[in-house]
Amino acid sequence: MQVTSVGHAGFLIQTHAGSILCDPWLNPAYFTSWFPFPDNSALDWGAVGDCDYLYVSHLHKDHFDAENLRANVNKDAVVLLPDFPVPDLRNELEKLGFHRFFDTTDSVKHRLSGPKGELDIMIIALRARPTVRSGTRHWWFPMARRRHST
């Protein structure tokens, strides 16, 4: 296996069973106030995007780059979908032309059979659940709680 950074939170994972492109962010976002660091504009995005599988963790623009996904990523790649309670990510990817999806179950190992071999994957979806206190909505992240010692 070879893991190559493609900038920010993006990686290209190459295995004997196929390649997985994760969070491929290229274009500036949020009125150009956010941009990939280190600069990844010199990468051959046509080659990077010629992947067997695609994983986009969530819809924030520094992970979901619609322009890059539309222009450079293989539309026949199998999209590995996190176990989210709403279909927003899938819907946005379908709008870009992606049509092959594999729905994962949170924290469960899945075996995928592809043309290059079998691939074991596990996706852990970070979720927040709303709580209501005194009429105000708060988000609680159970995995993010830490105890600090003084």
Q: Is residue 57, in this structure, part of any structural domain at all?
A: yes
User: 38-57 pLDDT, tens per residue?
Assistant: 899 999 999 999 999 999 99
Host domain of residue 26 = 2-144
Q: Is residue 54, in this structure, part of any structural domain at all?
A: yes
pLDDT of residue 120: 95
Question: Rounded distance, CA 118 to CA 108, Å?
Answer: 16
Q: Is residue 149, in this structure, part of any structural domain at all?
A: no
Bigger pLDDT: 141 vs 3: 3
Report the chain's mean pLDDT, rounded to a whole number: 88
User: 127-141 pLDDT, tens per residue?
Assistant: 666 555 555 554 544
In 10 A of CB 58, how many CB atoms?
14
Please state the φ and ψ torsions of residue 123, each to the nearest 5 degrees: -120, 130
Side chain identity, residue 127: R
CATH code for position 122 = 3.60.15.10
Task: Give how many domains the chain has, as a whole number.
Answer: 1
Q: Is residue 81, in this structure, part of any structural domain at all?
A: yes
Half-sphere exposure of 84 (CA within 13 A, CB side): 14
Peptide bond into 38 cis (omega under 30): yes
Q: Is residue 134, in this structure, part of any structural domain at all?
A: yes
